[in-house]
Amino acid sequence: MTIVAAVDRSERASYVVDEAAELAAAFDDTVHVAHALTRSEFLDLGITSAQAEEPKDMAEIRAAASEMAAEAVTDVDVPYETIGLVGGPAEEIVRYADEQDARYIVVSPKRRSQTGKVLFGSTAQSIILNASVPVVSTIHPNNI
């Protein structure tokens, strides 16, 4: 089975990978470090057809997202692979975990006020509410 480590490009991402690696070691599983490339990241890369000399195909876009996932991996002693997804992070992570028959999804929520959550939503909260597998939430030391 797999443990899906849902990472973004924040400093919290390495904690997600570390927690996923601990779970993978305990269950003799593989970690899939997954990053969903959002529309804003896609535009920031400057690889839209209007901006690029040659438009990128979906394989190249997923590869870019996979490279972003790899940035979160520092010192992992279990088998892992990096996965690039494209779309809304919560929906794509939940879909991917279902496709992989994942044992767990590991996330690290941002600390936000109740108003902030209402106005901006929470990817981790959406994953927790919509996942069909257990979700492990790890807290970054600066988030306590």
Strand positions, DSSP E, the chain: 2-6, 30-37, 80-86, 104-107, 135-137
The pLDDT value given to residue 77 = 94
Q: What letter would DSSP give residue 79? A: -
CB 85 within 8 A of CB 123: no
The pLDDT value given to residue 118 = 45
- Helix, strand, coil distribution of the chain in percent, nearest 5: 45, 20, 35
Identify which has the larger pLDDT, 94 or 116. Answer: 94
b/e map 12-37, b = 16+ CB within 10 Å: bbbbbbbbbbbbbeeeebebbbbbbb
The tokens describing 40, both together, are 């804003």
Q: What is the mean pLDDT of residues 131-144?
A: 79
Residue 122 class from Cβ within 10 Å (0-12 exposed, 13-18 middle, 19+ buried)?
middle
Q: At residue 74, does pLDDT exceed 70?
A: yes
Residue ranges covered by each domain of the chain: 2-143
Count how many Cα atoms sit within 13 Å of the Cα of residue 135 in the half-sphere of its side chain.
Answer: 20
The CATH class of 2-143 is: alpha beta
The pLDDT value given to residue 116 = 46
**CA dist., res. 25 & res. 61, Å (int):** 31
Q: At residue 112, does pLDDT exceed 60?
A: no
User: Residue 127: what residue type?
Assistant: I
Task: Name the band, by pLDDT with cuts 50, 70 and 90, for residue 123.
Answer: confident
